[in-house]
Chain A
């Protein structure tokens, strides 16, 4: 039994890596823009669909174009819709983005059809890797490596680049950033595009694991919200720790009580919020409190 638990724990961490990537984009958008983006799942689904389309046209070289397309769609969405929500109550942004997600899902269905699209991992990534007590699907190991690289790149971007510093400053004191002569609306547009790019990357990595259907974003959005709530709204470190924790809890619940596996993450969230109402790494944010 101990072997099995260890095995499930390893598998749960692998699943958690995917949750981290989905939640990170959501966390950035909330942290920097203050928007509760219920449409995040749509950009996740668009990442999968555009990857599939561009792959069919250009092969693997088409994948980067697919990511750029989704990021651009995200930026257009920010300019047309999201920008109007910055000075509104959080509830308004929640309702508007939820409505947008329903509309976008219908558009996806109209363009690509309701039929699930086969999108499989390369043959050389099928199979398992046994590492001590752990058994991983090769593709999931590839996902873990990809997510780790993306997280490292994101950290370096935020830490060492001028744009990253502007983003961090803008999230805390947007007025001061504007007084320093920085075009904040452009920064916010870019930020929303970045969040959508991360969602698209998650969609690309999830496509060979999950069924590529217009509603695939729904399966992603709830775990993502749970992760950022547990981790602390707007906290990147929190998103990482909470994502792994949710994956771990789900896998271990399946071992003992499979019918409760979906409910397990909500129980974890309730427990964390009872102990730390702002989440594990949540801080007091002047803009929201």
Chain B
């Protein structure tokens, strides 16, 4: 009995032991991948607006970014990698979220900057906390100009570069220009750059309205433009604001009366408007139907179409391209140390249509070709609005001329 009891106790304690061991193993098995996932992945921070007038562009930027990591098997340096996406509710909020990504999520690099003012705030944080950062959408000159720092790189050609490339197309239209720009860094840069160009050809500013971001009604502005009768309207509006403007511009019968031009618009801004209301000349960084797209670009466009069942907008490509550059630089650096990644970014290059794509070392501005596009007279495909008029620059010598030299730059780069 005693033995029985003893064997029962023994059996019970064995069962307990076994149960505990099996349970512990099961818990460990469940927990280990989690621990592995939590501790090992290399984290990249993505700052892209989730709400507001730029949210649509930001959605494409975000999709392109995630696709770039997927195409690399969600791995960097042979380790699992993941993207942590945070919002850009305002310039201040964007800066705070950049700091949170660095301090709490311990990201090794940042991507983002849907709007220039958010990008400038994030840039300051990236510089202060020494985290490599590529701005994938902001175009304000100051990003790689007066506010530059060695950790911040930028994709969009600065506003003056894009404006100068458009001048040959615009000066033939007329020399009396009206400016309608959003009241923030990007819009103000557009006005300053185009005014300088207009002065250089002896033109006249016949009107200059700075519009609050998020304006829904443009009728009063359109009446002012109609009264001023300019030869050309230079726009500095973005995303949903541009869509609102175009709808109302057509309703006032202005679409075919006064030409409209703007730099750095997104395909999605115009797709939202509808084919009958769109007109104008624009700069764009990329167009999915450009026959000169590289093999990698074409593969990206096909992958995007397959995944999202719609053509890749320019913003999707911009998100993808910046992410690809960052990921390739991290792999080339062989390390997640900021200085190693920055050095790898500065040494990164590839050739596209006769232009060596690279970051200028004095301001970390990406030198690459961009497009001047015109809206088709007769749009038959709701995803195909543009004719590619020109690709700028066409070779390295012209690239150096278009993007300028260190002496032209307001950037005074500090050492790492």
Contact = CB atoms under 8 A, between A and B. Distances in A.
A128 B222 CA distance: 12
A12 B272 CA distance: 26
Nearest to B269: A116
Given A11-B219, A115-B56, A219-B216, A140 B272 contact: no
Given A15-B217, A258-B211, A261-B212, A140 B251 contact: yes
Contacts of A120: 247, 250, 274, 276-277
A226 B351 CA distance: 56
Interface string B248-283: 101111000000000000001001111111000000
Nearest to B180: A258
A121 interface: yes
Interface stretch (A32-40, A195-203, A206-214): A206-214
Contacts of A210: 216-217, 244, 247
B272 A116 contact: yes
A231 to B, nearest CB: 19
Contacts of B268: 115-116
A212 B218 CA distance: 15
B55 A215 contact: yes
A211 B220 contact: no
A117 B183 CA distance: 25
A130 to B, nearest CB: 11
Contacts, number: 122
B59 interface: yes
Contact of B247 (A123, A209, A213): A209
A18 to B, nearest CB: 8
Given A114-B56, A213-B240, A215-B55, A126 B220 contact: no
B223 A11 contact: yes
Interface residues of B, number: 40
A128 B219 CA distance: 12
Interface of B: 51-53, 55-56, 59, 183, 209-212, 214-217, 219-221, 223-224, 226-227, 240, 243-244, 247-248, 250-253, 268, 271-277, 382
A132 interface: no
A121 B272 contact: no
15 contacts: A7-B227, A11-B219, A120-B250, A127-B251, A127-B252, A127-B253, A137-B252, A210-B216, A210-B247, A211-B240, A211-B272, A259-B212, A261-B215, A262-B215, A263-B212
Contact of B251 (A138, A215, A255): A138
A128 B212 contact: no
A254 B52 contact: no
Contact of B274 (A7, A118, A138, A259): A118
A241 interface: no
A135 B252 CA distance: 9
Contacts of B212: 259, 261-263
B247 A114 contact: no
A258 B179 CA distance: 12
A210 B247 CA distance: 7
Contacts of A135: 223, 226
A281 interface: no
B273 A118 contact: yes
A251 interface: yes
A219 B214 contact: yes
* Residue of B56, B217, B253 most packed against chain A (CB within 10 A): B217
Contacts of B276: 120, 123
A120 B382 CA distance: 14
B219 A140 contact: yes
Given A12-B220, A210-B247, A211-B272, 5 more contacts: A114-B59, A118-B272, A137-B253, A259-B211, A259-B212
A116 B240 contact: yes
Given A215-B52, A254-B209, A209 B272 contact: no
B235 to A, nearest CB: 14
> Closest 10 interchain pairs by CB?
A116-B272, A118-B274, A254-B220, A211-B243, A219-B216, A262-B212, A258-B209, A137-B251, A251-B220, A127-B253
A14 to B, nearest CB: 7
Contacts of B271: 115-116, 118
B274 A119 contact: yes
A128 B252 contact: yes
A216 to B, nearest CB: 8
Contacts of B277: 118, 120
B238 to A, nearest CB: 12
Contacts of B275: 118
Contact of A259 (B210, B244, B253): B210
A119 B273 CA distance: 8
Contacts of A259: 183, 210-212
B272 A115 contact: yes
A212 B55 CA distance: 13
A4 interface: yes
B220 A255 contact: yes
A116 B219 contact: no
B221 A254 contact: yes
A135 B240 CA distance: 25
B217 A250 contact: yes
Interface string A102-126: 0000000000001111111101011
A139 interface: yes
A8 interface: yes
Contacts of A219: 214, 216
A63 to B, nearest CB: 18
Given A209-B248, A254-B220, A128 B209 contact: no
Contacts of A250: 217, 220
A128 B243 contact: no
A8 B217 CA distance: 13
A118 to B, nearest CB: 3
